[in-house]
Amino acid sequence: MREVQMKRVPRRQLIGTVVAILFAAPFWPILPANAQTFSSSYTSTAPKDCRTIGKPSAEDGSTQVCPGQSGLMVVISEGDLRQTVSVGRTREAAAKEPAAETWFGPFNSTANTVEWRAVDGKPFAIIQRWLIADIDNPDKTGNPTSKPMLAVTRLPPGPVCHVAYIDGQANRNANELARQAADEFARDFKCGKDEVKVIGEKGAAVGLAKR
Domain ranges of the chain: 39-210
Q: What is the pLDDT along the chain (211 residues), one digit of tens a residue?
A: 444 454 555 555 544 554 444 444 444 444 455 678 999 999 999 999 999 987 665 556 789 999 999 999 999 999 989 999 999 999 999 999 999 999 999 999 999 999 999 999 999 999 999 999 999 888 888 889 999 999 999 999 999 999 999 999 999 999 999 999 999 999 999 999 999 999 999 999 999 998 7
In three-state secondary structure terms, 100 is helix
Per DSSP, which regions of the chain are E strands?
38-44, 51-57, 61-67, 73-79, 82-88, 108-119, 122-138, 144-154, 162-167, 197-199
Q: Residue 209 CB: number of other CB atoms within 10 A?
A: 21
